[in-house]
């Protein structure tokens, strides 16, 4: 098998990987048949998962919402923290507007969000 073609093959491979995991540890030699099979199937499962179950990149709005939840911030508190109006925060969260570079820097620093996420790169 060079590639998992369908869902039933994927389910079989995942089940087989789960059976092999207890048989292989850090001390298992790379020449062990269980080790070889585990590596090959794991790679096939990973490739299929990536192609069919990819999560995608988070949006700035979703990351801000998560950080607001983690920090216990309301939209009004976030607006005060980053120095914009509550309506502007609402625009950021709804995707109607993107922060300026200046506000993006503040968001990145104050909320500890990666600049790459803030810039959308």
Domains of the chain: 7-52 (no CATH), 60-119 (1.10.260.40)
- When pLDDT is averaged across residues 8-28 and rounded to a whole number, the result is 93
Q: What is the pLDDT of residues 75-121, one digit of tens each?
A: 999 999 999 999 999 999 998 999 999 999 999 999 999 998 888 77
Percent of the chain with pLDDT over 90: 78
Residue 45's contacts (CB-CB under 8 Å, 6 or more residues apart) are 4, 10, 13, 14, 17
What span, in angstroms and rounded, lies between the C-alpha atoms of 102 and 108? Answer: 10
What three-state secondary structure class fits 26?
A: coil
What span, in angstroms and rounded, lies between the C-alpha atoms of 94 and 72? Answer: 19
| pLDDT, averaged across the chain | 92
Q: Is the pLDDT of residue 20 over 70?
A: yes
Give the residue from 17, 55, 18 showing the smallest Cα distance to 36. 17
């Amino acid at each position: 098998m060079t590639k998992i073609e369908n869902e039933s093959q994927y389910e079989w491979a995942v089940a087989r990987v789960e059976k092999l995991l207890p048989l292989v540890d850090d001390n298992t030699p790379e020449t062990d048949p269980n080790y070889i099979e585990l590596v090959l199937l794991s790679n096939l499962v990973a490739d299929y998962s990536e192609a069919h179950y990819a999560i995608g990149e988070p949006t700035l709005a979703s990351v801000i919402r998560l950080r607001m939840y983690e920090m216990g911030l309301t939209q009004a508190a976030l607006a005060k923290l980053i120095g914009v109006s509550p309506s502007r925060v609402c625009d950021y969260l709804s995707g109607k507007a993107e922060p300026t570079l200046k506000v993006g820097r503040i968001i990145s620093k104050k909320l500890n969000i990666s600049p790459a996420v803030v810039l959308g790169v």
